[in-house]
Chain A
Amino acid sequence: AQKITQTQPGMFVQEKEAVTLDCTYDTSDQSYGLFWYKQPSSGEMIFLIYQGSYDEQNATEGRYSLNFQKARKSANLVISASQLGDSAMYFCAMRTGGSQGNLIFGKGTKLSVKP
């Protein structure tokens, strides 16, 4: 079964510090894509970062990096130098061929950045 697990319902981080949001996944497919999306209180879904299952290097996009550990089936999001605007829900998600392109989401982590 395809599944994404995010074990942190909520997290706090001090402004300018780094924070890691945890994500583990389960799939028997060899080819898959891992994603992180941000959902601010306004509701839209904002794509942050992508990691392919065959990518050997961890993905980075500005202040976002994905710590991909394939053997452990984990895909943690690291946000460096947190900003107040980073306060939002963060969703880890996965797409596989076996899921017919369905983006399977975790339950999300609510991140609050403290000034």
Chain B
Amino acid sequence: EAQVTQNPRYLITVTGKKLTVTCSQNMNHEYMSWYRQDPGLGLRQIYYSMNVEVTDKGDVPEGYKVSRKEKRNFPLILESPSPNQTSLYFCASSSHIYGELFFGEGSRLTVL
């Protein structure tokens, strides 16, 4: 089954404790992206990747890092999480920049 898998789905953590949200897709997509969704602000892009070893900042990259060492994986790293990073996070992938973006199920992160 074609899918984008994110883990963990739910996480409560404390300020400053490094965490990684993993994302993996099995569709051989070149394009991958991370979004966060906040009430009243909608969905905003954090980082994206056009291909392996090619990443770039989206609209709200501060406080996040990403890497793309393999085509299928695109982890999101929060080096020192803060409460303003409490949000619903989505990983997504597509075969090219115009086509349908396939979303993971979302990861709900709470930073205390």
Contact = CB atoms under 8 A, between A and B. Distances in A.
A107 B44 CA distance: 11
A105 B42 contact: yes
Interface residues of A, number: 23
A103 B92 contact: yes
Contacts of A31: 98
Interface of A: 31-33, 35, 37, 43-45, 47, 50, 52, 91, 95-97, 100-103, 105-108
Contacts, number: 63
Nearest to B92: A103
B106 A43 contact: yes
B101 A95 contact: yes
Contacts of A97: 97-98
23 contacts: A35-B101, A43-B88, A43-B105, A45-B90, A45-B92, A47-B102, A91-B42, A95-B98, A95-B101, A97-B97, A100-B56, A101-B33, A101-B50, A101-B94, A101-B97, A102-B33, A102-B45, A102-B58, A103-B33, A103-B43, A105-B42, A105-B43, A107-B42
A95 B43 CA distance: 14
Interface of B: 31, 33, 35, 42-43, 45, 48, 50, 56, 58-59, 88, 90, 92, 94, 96-103, 105-106, 108
Given A101-B33, A103-B92, A45 B98 contact: no
